[in-house]
Structure 1
Amino acid sequence: MFEKVSRSWELVKASASVLRSDKELMLFPLISGLATLVVLATFLLPMFALRVFADGFGIGAAVFGFLFYFVQYSVIIFFNCALIGAAMIRLDGGDPTLADGFAAAKSRIPAILGYAAISATVGVLLQALKNSKNNFLVRLLGSGLGVAWTLATFLVVPVLVSRDIGPVDALKESVRLLKRTWGENAVGQVGIGAAFGLITFGVVIAGVLLTVLAAQASWMLAVAVGVLFGLGVLLLGIYQAALSGIYSAALYRYAVSHETPDAFRGTDLAHAFEPKAS
C-alpha cells in the first residue's frame, strides 16, 4: 500500500509540474465555475417560486432535479473534456490553447450529453437514497454508492476525449481501467482532495480571524480582507480542479499506452500500471 501511495503522489506532483508550465489550463475550471453559477441561478429562481421541494422529494422534485443535474453535468463535463483535451496535447509535448481544448470538447458533444443524462439519472437516484426522510442505513448506502460511482467514473472523460465511443462504452472502459489503476486512482483522488481540503480549511480559519481583527480597526479593511481570502479560496478550488483534470489525463494515458512524457520522467510509471495478476 505504501508503494501505491508513493507512486500516486509522484503522479500528482508531476501533474502539478504540468500545470506550472501551462497555467492557462486553469482557465477551463474558472470558466466552468462561472457557467455553473449561471445554471444554478437559472434553476434556483423557479425552484423557490414554484416551491418544488415543499412536499419533499416527490415526482415533480425528481423531474426538476433531473433537469438541473442534466444541464449542470453537461456544462461541467464539457469543460472537463476541454481541460483534459488540452492537457493531453501538453502531455504530447504540444502547447495547447483554449481553442484547442474547446475544439476537443465540441467534437464530443453528443457523447457528453449522453453521459450527462446518465450522470443526472444516477444523481437523482443517489439524492433519493440520501433523502433525510430515509433511515440511516439507506442514507449510508446512498453515500457509499456515491463514492463508488465517483471512483468508477473518474476516467470516463479522458476516455470520451480520446476515443470515438458512446457514453455507455466509455463507462465500461473506465470501470475496466479502474481495476488496473485502483491504487493510483483512489489514493490520488483522496490525496488531492484531502490536501486541498486541509489547505482550504486553514485559509478559511485564517481569513475569519484576520477579518475579525481588521474589523476592530475599520469595517472597510475587514471587507477588503474578507474579499481577499474569499478569492484565495476560489483560486484554490480552481487549482484543485485543474490538477485533478491533468491527473486523470495522465492516469488514463499511462494505463493504455505505458508511454512516459517528459513531464513524468523519473516517476515509477513502469510499475504503476502493470495488469493485475489473474
Structure 2
Amino acid sequence: MAIIDRYKLQPSPLITIDGREEETNNFQLQAAPPAEEGNISGTVRRPDGTVIPFATVKLFNANGVPFEHNNSNPAGQFIFPRVPAGSYFITAAEPGFLTPLRATVTVLANRTTSVSITMQVDPDANKNAIFGIVQTSTNNQPIEDVTVELFRVTGTTTEMIGTVSTNNEGQYLFANLVNGNYFVAASKPGFLSNESTPTTVSDRDFAPVNMILAADPDANTGTISGIITDAANGQAIANAIVALYSVSNGIENIIDITKTNGGGLYLFGDLLAGIYRVKATLQVES
C-alpha cells in the first residue's frame, strides 16, 4: 500500500521553553487535495544487464509531445516524481548507444510505475564525421546545392567515398567514416571548383572542413562546338583548321583558330554575348 498525505504537513510557530514551563500550541491541519499523480522510476541497462549511468531519459505525453527529461544516476536509476496520471512514452539516449523505440508507460494516481530501459551499443559509435559549410569568397554567404565529394587517401591510392549536396545554409555532412585521411572537393556551376587540404580522423572525431568557392569570371559566357566530317563519306576529319569569326555590322574578324581532334570535334569556349561564325578547312603541305 502506498503512503500518501491525507493532510499537508503543517509546522507550528517556534516554541521557547525557559525553565519549568508547560507550553501549549494547538494548530489546524489543512486537508491535502486528492492527488491524481504518480511516479515513474526505473533503470537504464545494457543488454548484459550492467547499468548505464548518466543516460538522458525522456518522457513524452500520449500525443508524443515532450513532457520532461532526467538523467540516470551512477547506478543507472532514474525517477520522474509527481507525474499526472495517464499514458506516456519513454526512451533514453547516451553517446555510444542506439536510442530505443519509445515504450508505453501508464501512470496511476498515488502509485510508482517501474520501467526498465535496455540500450543497444551503437556499432558505429567509434566512427568519425566530416562536416562543414561552403561559402562565397566575396562575402562569406552560404552556397546552396553545391556538390561536395569526399575522398579517402590510402598511401598512393585515392578513393571517392561519397557525394552529397549542401543545404540552403551551405552545410554538408559525411558520417560513419572509418579512421583515415580524407579531403573534400566542392563544385557548382558559376563557381570555380575547390579542394580542401587533407584531414585525418580517428576514434570518434567530428572534423569541420569549411570550403570557399570563388565566382567563375567566365560563368556568363558561352561555347561553340561541332564535328567536321567529309561530305563524301561522312568520316570525321582530324586536324581540320577551324576559325572563329566575330560578326559586327556585317564585318567578320577572326578572333580564334583551333584544330579538330581525332574525332573531328572542335570547341571554342568563354565566348561573350555576340554574333559569331565558324569556318573550317584542311590544309596540307605539298
Per the shorter chain, which TM-score range? Answer: under 0.3
Query: What TM-score do you get using the length of structure 2 for normalisation?
Result: 0.19
Larger-Rg structure: 2
When you count strand as a share of all residues, which structure comes out higher? 2
Greater relative CO (CA pairs within 8 A, separation 6+): 1
When you count helix as a share of all residues, which structure comes out higher? 1
